[in-house]
Chains A and B, each alone.
Chain A
Amino acid sequence: MTRISLLRPLAAAMAAVWMVAGCGGGTSSEALASNQTLRFAIIDQPTSLDPSDVDSAVDITFLAEVFTGLYKFDNNLKIVPDGTTGMPDVSADGKTWTFHLRKDMQFSNGDKITAKDWIWSWTRTLKRNKAYASNLYIVTGAQDVANGAAASVSGLSAPDDYTLVAKLDAPAGYWLSQLAMPTASMVLDQKVIAAAGEDAWTEKPETYIGSGPFKVTAYSAKESVEFEPVKGWWGGDTGALTKVHVDFHIDVAAQVQKYEAGGYDIVGMANSPAGPDDVLRFKSDPAKSKLLTIYPGARATAVGFNFITGPFASKPGATAGAPTNGSSGTTDPGLAGRRAFSLAIDRNQLADIACAHAITCQPATGGPIVKGFKGYLGDGGDPWAKFDVAQAKQLLEQWDPSGTKRKNLEYRYNTSPANDKRAQNLQAQWKQNLGVDVKLVPSDFPTLQRDRKKKIVIIGRQSWSIDYDHPQDWFDNLWSCDQAKVGRGNDEAYCNPDLDKITAAANTKPLDQALPDYVSALKTLVNDVVWMTIDYGTQPYIVQTYVKGAGYNGLYDYSWVGIKLTQH
């Protein structure tokens, strides 16, 4: 808690600097192009554009521009006020947070925003209880609303129109980071949603109302979406862009082609990075390599095993959300199999083949949390990530002496050039090193998501991109018993009550004290091989030379407000 009070003046200063920089306009010496339309594409189409529901990195990019939260991450990953006038006042015991809201905020249709709107929005998010509703669980009474036991959140109150008070169940150092995420805690227009319908309001530009610098002006299902800046935006200057045009369902190879022909300005925004073949091609061309930037990423890719169904299950037949591991559990019939499959993969070979000679990703040997972030177990820290064919074979026979479990295995993943390469290499290595034939079953991302949330995927691609630098982001979203229920984010249905106790306790402590607890929890996780982590990703961006101000801060795209197109 001392941390926050130190950050407050710092953040306030930063906020001031940010506002000045935003309002003042650039001191650029380059002339602006007459056409300020930013064009790029994404591989699929958005799964959900409703901030209460959203859970994919692609969709988050758009939400960050259309909606506003209490706080946000700036281009340097610093938390700055967005809907507030400064950092929150936190009580001495850390359980009462007071937010001072900006008085000039309004939605793009002119509706004013008061504290009541924030309360309504957060309550709605909890009622719908999707992936990031968990960002609000720490508030007293929030989980009751999520479970349907209450209609309003007892811990939220609005002493006046521009003050929001939240009482927490326990002190939570990470809560500010959660509030800065462009998802579940953003403010929504109650009037519009009530009139247009809880699900239908996102479907038409006229009803898709937010309070961010941009708004949707055209939406063509399966084809494209267009954004334009909000005139007279309360937050100040909306930047140089006059339009942002995004095409859907363009595969990445075609995107790069079109980019090279001048049809797109960027490839890589909204989590649609160029494939390894294209990255390699750009890197080897002296002229093109200047257009390529490889940002260190915060994404881990892994293979997830199902803990309640199938041959790798720890408790076959258990209901999703019931304990599968921990001191209460006894045997884990799938453990040897999961370990065997993990040991049989040479991650160096995979990174070389699937990631353009290890440019777009690095082999993962230190557990699921990405190298460079808190919770990384250190190089080689994952004992089951080493490449050991002999031991793998031994464990394979131990797990499946009759040879029946290893038949008819299917690896599910969402299609993209990089994922295809990883999948094919996994298939080849499992065949070569274990003699097991795994069928590849690609699909589009929404289908994979749907099946993963139903907990019916036996072996599937898993991936997580860090929301903020805190292990809580991983545990509470991916591996808790609560998230193991159907429809929530723990696709493996791994439920270890002992682990949840440890992490729950760690969540209340300041990070430097909590870190050893998180690390020991991670070691348990890694030993249970819940995730077979294979690589840590980087984020390649291909940007035209005339585009200025675009980039990636490790977790999110730079804001569109700072992007401009110079003459070309």
Chain B
Amino acid sequence: MSRGLAVYIVQRLLLVALTALIVSSVVFIGVHQLPGTALISERDTNPATEQILMRHYHLDLPWPQQYWLWITGLVHGDLGESLVNRGVQITPLLLREASVSVTLGVAAVIITVLVGMSLGILAAIRQNTWVDYLASTTAVIGYSVPSFVWAFLLILLTVSGFYTWTGGFIYEDIGWGKPEQIPVPALALGLPYAAIVARLTRASMLEVIRQEYVRTAWAKGLASRAVILRHALRNALIPVISILGPLITGIIVGSVVIEYLFGIPGLGQEFVNSILSRDYNIVVGVFTFYAALVGVANLVVDLTYPLLDPRIRY
């Protein structure tokens, strides 16, 4: 790794940290403008206990001071304690749930890229044939139908469908914990984006194929076709990589709904639950996590660019 590259990576990581900090600070400050007692969700309504709790969570301090305490904790990786479930430390909780969500997200991205690119390449190679039209229409339908509708259909298919058709032999266990539970929610999550990737792949492949020299070489025969295809493929990856950033953000958004529907104990479900139960410490914590996640993901994406396009150097 060259020195320049190392410097670049450090710079970017600092930027990620800064971004995460700013985003979560906004959320933190926004959330703490609410009246203090609203933050205490306790079984006790004994004023003495409430006092003790306020002090425990530093909620009796003016909010700039609370903010400072939170920042210093953040630097040490300590996201604080859950408001609703006393004693539960947030950082280990979120780390555990993040590993679940990241697994799901990575699986979704893999499906997106694989399925999307295959479809797009197929359509490009067989341009203007029925295959192309079918693939293109499928793609538009793919990203027009919301991901939860796909989830409904998939759940119907895998839970009821397989179960009845095979007389109870095959069943899909909805939930998390076994490796075979990953594909179905990942599919529901990734399908809409696979469709978008398909379109992009097709367009960029066509761009390459259409160029004059390519058409000549293509007409010449098999050997040059293979070279063309490889070149076109590499080129096709670039726009896909370029939307990887928004893709990841989109998958995070989709994961909130998908985790809810499939009962997967990830960050998305945690976020919804903690919002509903007014556990603002966790809400701020999840936000921080996500902001950092997106930043790191974007960094990884940017670092893979030079692998594909030799023109780009850092």
Contacts and interface: CB of A to CB of B under 8 A. Distances in A.
Do A and B interact directly, with beta carbons closer than 8 Å? Answer: yes
Interface of A: 45, 47-48, 53, 130, 199-200, 203, 221-223, 249-251, 254, 257-258, 260-263, 443-444, 446-447, 449-450, 453-454, 486-487
A412 to B, nearest CB: 13
Contact of B159 (A251, A261, A443): A261
B263 A223 contact: no
Contacts of A487: 44-46
B241 interface: no
23 contacts: A45-B85, A48-B43, A53-B43, A200-B86, A200-B87, A221-B82, A221-B85, A222-B93, A222-B265, A222-B273, A257-B155, A257-B159, A257-B174, A258-B174, A260-B159, A261-B163, A261-B171, A262-B173, A443-B276, A446-B43, A447-B278, A450-B43, A487-B44
Contacts of B173: 258, 261-263
A319 to B, nearest CB: 14
B277 to A, nearest CB: 5
Contacts, number: 74
A63 to B, nearest CB: 15
B13 to A, nearest CB: 31
Given A221-B93, A222-B273, A487-B46, A446 B84 contact: yes
A453 B172 contact: no
Interface string B192-229: 00000000000000000000000000000000000000
A444 B263 contact: no
A454 B163 contact: no
A234 to B, nearest CB: 31
Given A221-B93, A261-B172, A47 B43 contact: yes
A449 B273 contact: no
B246 interface: no
A486 B175 contact: no
Q: Which of B46, B172, B263 has the most CB of A within 10 A?
A: B263
Interface of B: 41-46, 82, 84-88, 93, 155, 159, 163, 171-175, 261-263, 265, 269-270, 273, 276-278
A450 B42 contact: yes
| Secondary structure of the A contact surface, majority rule | loop
Contacts of B93: 221-222
Most buried by B among A45, A221, A449: A221
A445 to B, nearest CB: 10
Contacts of B82: 221
Given A199-B86, A221-B93, A257-B159, A446 B174 contact: no
Contacts of B276: 443-444
Nearest to B93: A221
Contacts of B44: 487
Contact of B171 (A47, A48, A222, A262): A262
A285 B128 CA distance: 49
Contacts of A443: 276-277
Contact of A263 (B45, B175, B270): B175
Given A261-B171, A261-B173, 10 more contacts: A203-B87, A222-B85, A222-B265, A222-B270, A249-B273, A250-B263, A258-B174, A262-B173, A447-B41, A450-B41
